[in-house]
A and B are shown apart, each in its own frame.
Chain A
């Protein structure tokens, strides 16, 4: 889809500090000088075309539940197959191929350390490949949204 100046403002200005008022979309609309219905339509279009995943909350990692980053080294010809096995776990998200000997990277989120370990063990068993468990020990950069630079 073609992004208009309004789309860009919406995307840049409302990644954080979303209004906590009964009619937040109306407040955004007033801010942008348009109607509430237009804001809802734009968000719906942006979601539909896959530019945004949702309007919602980004939680602080490891604050609720436990998570880790996992790397696996998989023969390239088996990558799709292993990725499918991994994706079947509801605890898995952000599963990406990366250009490296460790070529499959994903995040596992679980309700407890024990649950997390169970999931890792199962992934290892089902895929037949070792998992490298890379838990976060310290966070230096806080995700407060992303300043988009338009071409």
Chain B
């Protein structure tokens, strides 16, 4: 976690709702946060460079684009093999996210999570089979969690305090 200025926080907060669909969107953001258009652009450049903003652009909803089979695939990878496996997984173009998370044996033995978005269930399962085979994971416990209903999906709200 890094400290960021209150101006940056305001800019990021304004951006959570999306850029105004107007000819001079940065000027409008500037008006909301009390900064000039040039300042807003300069701050955004800096935040991108620092990696606080990972990307700036159109944020799609995969499900609405026919990517209805969104599966979270979880793996119980031995700790010593895990870093290498995480890197290998992330090289497959059908893996859209890959994280190591805390595990809780025995109720939750899985430590490596990857997301696969596919146009149908069949394709996703073939991709999982491909991962198991290519990475030599035939003996490793795993589970495929297809998504059902979406109860809530929106841009994150940052900086809310309890």
Q: Does B132 contact A (CB under 8 A)?
A: no
In the assembled complex, A33 has its CB within 8 A of some CB on chain B = no
Output the least CB separation between B102 and chain A (Å).
6
CB pair B21 A60 closer than 8 Å: no
Q: Are B55 and A151 in contact (CB under 8 A)?
A: no
B122 neighbours in A (Cβ, 8 Å): none
Mark B61-104 against chain A: 1 for CB-CB distance below 8 A, else 0. Answer: 11011100000100000000001001101100101111111101
Overall SS of chain B's interface: mixed
The answer to whether A60 and B24 touch (CB under 8 A), given A20-B44, A115-B161, is: no
- Residues A23-74 near B (CB distance < 8 A): 23-26, 36, 40, 43-44, 46-47, 49-60, 62-67, 69, 71
Chain A: minimal CB distance from B37 (Å): 6
A interface size (C-beta, 8 A): 87
Among B113-162, those with CB < 8 Å from A are 113-114, 117, 119, 143, 145-162
The answer to whether A52 touches B60 (Cβ under 8 A) is: yes
Query: Chain B residues near A67 (CB, 8 Å)?
Result: 156
* Contact partner, B108, options A84, A91, A132, Cβ 8 Å: A132
Given that A64-B12, A118-B162, A144-B55 are contacting pairs, would A56 and B150 also be in contact in the complex, using a CB cutoff of 8 Å?
A: no
A62 to B1, CA, bound (A): 6
Distance (whole angstroms) from the CB of B146 to the closest CB of chain A: 5
CB of B55 within 8 A of CB of A71, answer: no
* Shortest 6 CB-CB contacts between residues of A and residues of B: A54-B18, A97-B148, A140-B86, A141-B90, A141-B98, A95-B152
Given contacts A71-B108, A118-B162, 13 further A-B contacts (CB under 8 A): A20-B41, A22-B26, A25-B23, A55-B21, A55-B59, A57-B55, A59-B52, A60-B51, A64-B52, A99-B145, A110-B160, A111-B162, A133-B102
Interface residues of B (CB under 8 A from A): 1-2, 4, 9, 12, 15-19, 21-27, 37, 41, 44-45, 47, 51-62, 64-66, 72, 83, 86-87, 89-90, 93, 95-102, 104, 107-108, 113-114, 117, 119, 143, 145-162
